[in-house]
């Protein structure tokens, strides 16, 4: 593996999931592989799970870790050929090369602004670091993808699957803020690779990028979609076609105990209780959200290990 910016960077998914589960059983089994290697994590946005689980994963492999909150340092310029006489102070061309001298691997979190679809889809932060850095890049959630989360979700489903081909439903939920599409996109892409029966349910107007959903069934009737589900992944996202807008906050889409049935509840966290999911489910044994968050460590660890092996 040369970079991990999308789940398509994984060459053998089932083997990678198995390796992650083995790392979970023996987290310090490769504690020499990262000796004298440094992970630099750059955050343009807030994080709890990604920051701590990725740092823990790196330390399990013996790496040093440096964390930089990018908003605390010089304003970065990403456009080529710009006359930098306004607010930006340092160009990505220098910044990426300088950071590469301190890092063996760079991990980046850079959310979309949700104002301009074309601008967000250009993934300027991720693509610029990939272009100008001289070390591997990990995506810790960008405008369109959250591949570490999707890998943790795949590990969780693999651990808990009782049938050969479980039914997995991605169910939209209301939220007071406009949220990105990254988690939903990467989850759908990941489910398309796995041996699962995947369905998406959301109100009309919340269709994800058709280049992502492809032939995945979409139901506007949530009750019908959830029938006989083994795993229900609840997530809000803003409209893709009316880019970044909130079209619906209808609480009838909130996940309830009655709707969950016998399925396991998945969510990437953080979750707004009693808006996205009812307390009664989050506090029940059917919720696997804490396991998902734990698996973030082993998703990051398997990715870091594969990158370190290729340095
Ligand atoms: N799920 C997830 O990425 O959590 P954080 O935003 O807290 O990192």
Domain boundaries, the chain: 7-145+295-309, 147-292
Ligand 1 atom nearest 146 alpha carbon: 3
- CATH class for the domain made up of 147-292: alpha beta
User: Would you say 45 and 138 are in contact if contact means Cβ atoms under 8 Å apart?
Assistant: no
Beta strands 231-235; 64-69: pairing state: unpaired
Residue 47 CA to ligand 1 center (angstroms) comes to 5
Supply the pLDDT for residue 126.
97
Supply the pLDDT for residue 163.
85
Q: Is 187 helix (H, G, I), strand (E, B) or coil?
A: helix
pTM beyond 0.75: yes
- CATH class for the domain made up of 7-145+295-309: alpha beta
Could you give the residue ranges of the DSSP H alpha helices within 88-123? 92-102, 117-121
- Which residue owns the Cα nearest ligand 1 atom 6? 47
Supply the pLDDT for residue 94.
98
Long-range contacts of 205-210 (CB under 8 A, 24+ apart): 205/239, 205/241, 205/242, 205/247, 205/248, 206/172, 206/237, 206/239, 206/240, 206/247, 206/248, 207/240, 207/241, 208/181, 208/184, 208/237, 208/240, 209/144, 209/181, 209/185, 209/240
Supply the pLDDT for residue 71.
86
Q: What single-letter DSSP state applies at residue 73?
A: S
The residues lining ligand 1, judged by C-beta closer than 6 Å to any ligand atom, are: 47-50, 141, 149, 268-270
Supply the pLDDT for residue 246.
98
Supply the pLDDT for residue 73.
86
Structure tokens at 225: 């979609």
Supply the pLDDT for residue 116.
98
Residue 219 CA to ligand 1 center (angstroms) comes to 27
Ligand 1 binding pocket mutation candidate from 107, 110, 177, 268 (most atoms within 8 A of CB):
268
Angle in degrees, CA 175, 177, 179, rounded to 5 = 90
Residue 224 CA to ligand 1 center (angstroms) comes to 30
Q: Is 218 helix (H, G, I), strand (E, B) or coil?
A: strand
Ligand 1 binding pocket mutation candidate from 139, 141, 292 (most atoms within 8 A of CB):
141
Ligand 1 atom nearest 51 alpha carbon: 8
Helix axes 49-60, 289-309, angle to 10 degrees: 50
Q: For the chain, which ranges sit under pLDDT 70?
A: none
């Amino acid at each position: 593996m040369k970079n991990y910016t999308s789940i398509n960077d994984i060459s053998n998914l089932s083997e990678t999931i198995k390796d992650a589960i083995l790392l979970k059983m023996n987290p310090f089994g490769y504690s020499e592989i990262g000796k004298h290697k440094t992970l630099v994590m750059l955050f343009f946005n807030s994080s709890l799970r990604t920051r701590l689980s990725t740092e823990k994963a790196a330390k399990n492999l013996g790496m040093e870790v440096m964390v930089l909150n990018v908003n605390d340092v010089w304003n970065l310029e990403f456009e080529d050929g710009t006359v930098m006489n306004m607010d930006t102070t340092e160009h990505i061309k220098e910044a990426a090369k300088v950071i590469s001298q301190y890092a063996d691997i760079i991990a980046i979190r850079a959310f979309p602004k949700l104002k301009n679809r074309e601008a967000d889809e250009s993934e300027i932060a991720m693509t610029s670091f990939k272009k100008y850095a001289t070390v591997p890049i990990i995506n810790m959630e960008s405008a369109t993808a959250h591949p570490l989360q999707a890998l943790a979700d795949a590990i969780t489903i693999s651990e808990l699957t009782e049938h050969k081909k479980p039914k997995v439903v991605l169910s939209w939920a209301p939220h007071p803020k406009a949220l990105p599409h990254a988690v939903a996109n990467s989850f759908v892409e990941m489910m398309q690779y796995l041996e699962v029966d995947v369905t998406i349910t959301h109100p009309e107007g919340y269709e994800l990028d058709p280049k992502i959903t492809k032939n995945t069934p979409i139901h506007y009737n949530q009750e019908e979609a959830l029938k006989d589900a083994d795993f229900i992944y609840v997530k809000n996202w803003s409209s893709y076609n009316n880019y970044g807008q909130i079209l619906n906050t209808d609480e009838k889409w909130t996940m309830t105990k009655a709707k969950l049935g016998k399925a396991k509840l998945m969510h990437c966290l953080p979750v707004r209780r009693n808006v996205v999911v009812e307390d009664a489910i989050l506090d029940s044994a059917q919720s696997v959200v804490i396991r998902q968050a734990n698996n973030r460590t082993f998703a990051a660890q398997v990715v870091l290990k594969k990158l370190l092996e290729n340095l």
